Structure 1
Amino acid sequence: MFQEIAGIKIPDSQLAKDAADILREHGDDLLWNHSNRVFLFGAINGKKAKLNYDLELLYVSALFHDLGLTKKYSSPDLRFEVDGANAARSFLQQYQVPAESIRLVWDTIALHTTIGIAEHKESEVALLYSGVGLDVMGDGFEQFPVALREEIVKAFPRNNFKQEIIPAFYEGFKHKPETTFGNIKSDVCEFFIPNYKRKNFCDCILHSPWSE
């Protein structure tokens, strides 16, 4: 395990190591490299913006943020983001982590795909969101230092990431496409499922049981 990458020290407490072991055990190289890149991107963004944030909590949040896509942690009926948040909460409760810190990690993971809200929350929430946005969609790509970006990708390679992450998303929630209603992951269902018709908010209003 690397000790420092792009000027960011990788947390090495027992809690951090155990969190890394869980992702290694239940995830794959795609999620491992992605989650570590997300952590580093977010941490560097926080450093550049001179934000106060807990590096270890950001690290754990990054490691768990997509764990809800794995067979071990995927529920039959919850959003995968919530599954990951619940897994992190159960994990942190085994340690002497304050309840407020656990709540913060839960929010950080649960909101990591929530456009228009996550960036206005606590630093950890906003930074994980920024790291995910940069790694998945290239948000802030031109503003991120090239040398640091290259160092991170060298340590945690992308390896055909653009082509592999969309199927990975779908595999994680294809058994519960209804959980993507109202969020960006419905685009993934539409990408893979022939003639997929997403639930429509206006239809929900017009066909509600109210008589008027």
Structure 2
Amino acid sequence: MRLADIAIPDTPAARGSLEVATAYCSPALLNHSVRAYLWAAAYGAMNDIAFDAELLYVASMMHDIGLVKEFDSHTVPFEEAGGHVAWVFAAGAGWPVERRVRASEIVVRHMWDSVDPGADPEGHLLELSTGLDISGRRSEDFPAGLRAEVLERYPRLGIGPEFAGCFADQAARKPDSLAGRFVRSGIAERIAANPLDR
């Protein structure tokens, strides 16, 4: 598996979601979002997990949008806020209600400990890929050449410290959220030890 083998969906919704992420995310968070899709799509292809590439791509671009100041919510966890943004974006893209709901579910579920690939392959792939990119979880499941190519094309740009800071802020304001639980369980240490940063 090489970077060139990973298809990027070329649809109005996919292009629009990248435009939104580019406009609102920091360069580090934007590259993280792109890598999240690339890791997810690669893992799906390598493990014969059928997935909807457009749906996965849009959810990947939107999955951390709830961390940026313009969409941060003081009343719900960031992944739920991001899920609402994904639903609204999908409505603007003309997606039917069921597909809007799916986009929102995938964004919310990327924070789960695990997602059943049989019930939600896109949610499973995004949960797995974001865990890889943020804390290095299961990095050995990806060929070294692919890891090197992806990181060269979309460098990390200090995503570790930036993300740890975002989670610390979320945990302080929303201690009952999953981000709060992750902070209490040592996410900062896992981020600092990510082998992708070596």
**TM-score normalized with structure 1 length:** 0.79
Give the alignment of 1:92-111 within 5 angstroms. Answer: 92-111=90-109
One-letter identity of the residue aligned with 1:87: V
2:175 aligns with: 178
Q: Distance in 2 between matches of 1:190 and 1:137?
A: 13
Is 2:72 the partner of 1:74?
yes
> Which structure: larger Rg?
1
- Offset at 1:120? 6.1
Q: 1:107 to 1:118 in 2, by over 3 A?
A: farther
Q: 1:127 to 1:190 in 2, by over 3 A?
A: closer
Structure 1, unaligned runs of 5 or more = 192-212
Q: 1:26 to 1:74 in 2, by over 3 A?
A: same
Judge conservation of contact 2:51–2:121 (CA < 8 Å) in 1: yes
1:188 aligns with: 183
1:40 aligns with: 38
String of CA shifts for 1:17-51, please: whole Å, max 9, x gaps.
Answer: 11111111111111101011110000001101112
**TM-score normalized with structure 2 length:** 0.84
Is 2:82 the partner of 1:84?
yes
Residue of structure 2 aligned with 1:156, choices 154, 157, 160: 154
How many residues get paired? 185
Judge conservation of contact 1:41–1:131 (CA < 8 Å) in 2: yes
1:209 aligns with: none
One-letter identity of the residue aligned with 1:168: C
Structure with higher helix content:
2
Q: Distance in 2 between matches of 1:42 and 1:158?
A: 17
One-letter identity of the residue aligned with 1:42: A
Judge conservation of contact 1:119–1:130 (CA < 8 Å) in 2: no
One-letter identity of the residue aligned with 1:104: R
1:53 aligns with: 51
